[in-house]
Amino acid sequence: MKTKSSDMTPDLITRVRDQLKQSRTLPSRIELPLNAQDSLPGQATGGVLKLEEFEQELLLSSMFTPGQAERAACEPVLPRAGLGAAEVAQLIATLAGEVPCFPVTSGQRSGFCPVPEVVVARYVRLLGLDQPVFAEAYEVIDSRLTGADRDWIMSLARRPVWQTPDRGALLSLVLRVMADGSAITTDKMGFLTDFVRTYRCVTEPELIRSLKSLIESYRIDADHPTFNNPALEDKQGESIRSHHCDEAVRRHRVAMAREILEDFGKFSRLP
């Protein structure tokens, strides 16, 4: 197993700094005080820094919310236990002290805008760099995966849903089962993380039962009752289809649930 220092590295500071300085497009509902000088490097407007902190956060938070890709990008230089509180505070202070500027486009205008300390602090907090990975789960991931897949899955293992001892143990078990079954994949890990967060599974029996219920519910939904009146049947079919769960999403969820059940060796075809 690879080992990493528990100290925050300059590489981590660089990675987060680069994320903060990425070019962004301003949503149409937001206006920043850009002026003619803002198109010149080093001439960023100070208007944003003159606002109240809550105004700064409201103004910029939608553009500074890290996603899974940003969290995974930090994994190569994160220790298993994550950063300590003092290290997180040091990271925020270092970056905020630099007042990083990011290129911003607003309609036909472009310029540079500073990232206020309150926004830096929020961004770093949402990266979840202080969250640990359960020791057994870390061992499985670190020994079975490399490169981008390893970093993506490791960052998912730091998510809040896995932070209790029971959930950490469940994750470790499922990862071992996947490793000995078909494979540990980013798709299965992403599905599992969302699934456990939604269905609140804590034990293996609960997970198995919930996965089977998911497959069965989609099967029943597909066989929804019909009416003699075709117009009513069409209306019912339209009303039960969630705009957030189209057919492709359902097929993906069913496929992931089946793969995990097959990995457990407890999958049986439903009638």
In which residue are the tokens 């993506």 written? Answer: 152
pLDDT of residue 151: 98
Residue 233 has pLDDT above 60, yes or no: no
What is the CA 68 to chain-centroid distance, rounded? 3
Q: Where are the domains of the chain?
A: 10-127, 135-264
Q: What is the mean pLDDT of residues 105-114?
A: 80
Instruction: Compute the distance between CA of residue 75 and CA of residue 79 in angstroms, rounded to an integer.
Output: 8
Residue 199 has pLDDT above 70, yes or no: yes
Residue 38 has pLDDT above 80, yes or no: no
Encode pLDDT of 4-26 as tens digits: 434 568 999 999 999 999 999 87
Which of 147 and 181 is assigned the larger pLDDT?
A: 147
Show the tokens assigned to 231.
């117009």
**In what helix (H) or strand (E) does residue 73 lie, and over which residues does it extend?**
helix 68-74
| Burial environment of residue 110 by CB neighbours within 10 A (0 to 12, 13 to 18, 19 or more) | middle
Choose among 165, 222, 217, 167: nearest CA to 192: 167
Q: What is the mean pLDDT of residues 85-106?
A: 91
Instruction: Compute the distance between CA of residue 83 and CA of residue 104 in angstroms, rounded to an integer.
Output: 30
Residue 213 has pLDDT above 80, yes or no: yes
Show the tokens assigned to 252.
């993906």
pLDDT of residue 106: 74
Show the tokens assigned to 80.
């298993």
pLDDT of residue 220: 82
**Among 43-57, 84-98, 160-174, 253-267, where is mean pLDDT lowest?**
43-57
Q: Please, what is the Cα angle at 233 between 227 and 234, to 5 degrees?
A: 165
Instruction: Compute the distance between CA of residue 10 and CA of residue 165 in angstroms, rounded to an integer.
Output: 31
C-alpha Rg value of the chain to the nearest Å: 23
Show the tokens assigned to 149.
């897949």
pLDDT of residue 232: 46
Q: With contact defined as beta carbons under 8 Å apart, do 76 and 145 qualify? A: no
Choose among 219, 223, 200, 220: nearest CA to 210: 200
Q: What is the mean pLDDT of residues 184-202?
A: 97
pLDDT of residue 4: 45
Show the tokens assigned to 106.
């607003």
Choose among 175, 186, 174, 65: nearest CA to 128: 65
Q: How confident is the model at residue 130 (pLDDT cuts 50, 70, 90)?
A: very high
